[in-house]
Amino acid sequence: MLVKDPVYLQLNKQLRDRLRGMAGQSGARFLTERQISAEFGVSRATANKALSNLVAEGLLEFRKGLGTFLRKPALDYDLQALVSFTGKARAAGKEPSTRLLQFKIQDAASIRGEVLKHLGDPPDGSLCFIQRLRLADGQPVILERRYVLGRFCPGLSAEDLLGSLYDLWTERYTLPIAGAEQTIQAVNLRAKEAQLLEAPCGSAAFLVISTGYLQPRQPLWWEQTLYRGDAYEFHNFLGPVRPAAPATGALRP
């Protein structure tokens, strides 16, 4: 971009950053027009224009004579909150825990084609299979079955798998997770799955088939994960111009 953005758009970005820092503080007071005017060195009119756009987007709310305030809990742009069960459970005020059911290194040759199709044949031919049960306040919520490319988890041990895999990769391996593709289906739990999730056999669940990426074209894992239907729900917003947050899963209230 050769030409600089107009001031009010730059301001908009900065205010949005500021807003993100205040995420969750629903109803809290935001900066006033006059504060912004002074702090950023722009006119009140420009400050108002930038604020006004944020109001139009539903992030803020004007209250005449009082100030501008955060509307609903600011949208979570944090990927961790989107993909990490640990984070989501804590956000819902529940204590997350994990029961490791299975953990083994397999040769790619012994894996059925569907898995490899999503991961691309790994050159070293090793894949890591992880089956975990995720619990919130002791209640089973998620049955996770995941294949991970072996070369991205050297020296992985069973103890490492008791917490957030998201944290594991971003912190220990310092491999930033770029995103995940999900296909969400509604299925009836089979006997074995129901038993593990401590739910009635045949009860409804989400089956989330998902590929996780390190970089846009570098797959890291492929998973087939069951979410108890009575404990989980997804939220989504369809619209042309909303600050399009992707669909987010959350523990049902």
Q: Which residues bind DNA (CB under 7 A)?
A: 3, 6-9, 32-35, 41-46, 48-49, 51-52, 62-68
Closer residue to DNA, CB minimum distance, 8 or 222: 8
CB atoms within 10 A of CB 41: 9
Query: Does 88 engage in binding with its own copies (CB under 8 A)?
Result: no
Query: Does 56 engage in binding with its own copies (CB under 8 A)?
Result: yes
From the centroid of its chain, how far is CA 21? Answer: 17
Given DNA, its own copies, none, residue 39, with its beta carbon under 5 to 8 Å by kind, binds none
Query: Does 5 engage in binding with its own copies (CB under 8 A)?
Result: no
Q: Which stretch binds its own copies (CB under 8 A): 109-117, 124-132, 143-151, 245-253?
A: 245-253
C-alpha 198/C-alpha 125 separation (Å) is 35
Task: Find all residues with CB under 8 Å of 243, minimum gap 6, and list them.
Answer: 57, 59, 75
Q: Are strands 60-63 and 67-70 parallel, antiparallel or unpaired?
A: antiparallel
Q: Say which residue the tokens 């990426």 belong to.
A: 213
Helix (H) or strand (E) holding 10: helix 7-21
Residues of this chain that interact with its own copies (CB under 8 A) are: 6, 8, 45, 48-49, 52-53, 56-58, 64, 75-79, 82-83, 178-188, 202-206, 213, 216-217, 227, 229, 232-242, 244-247, 252
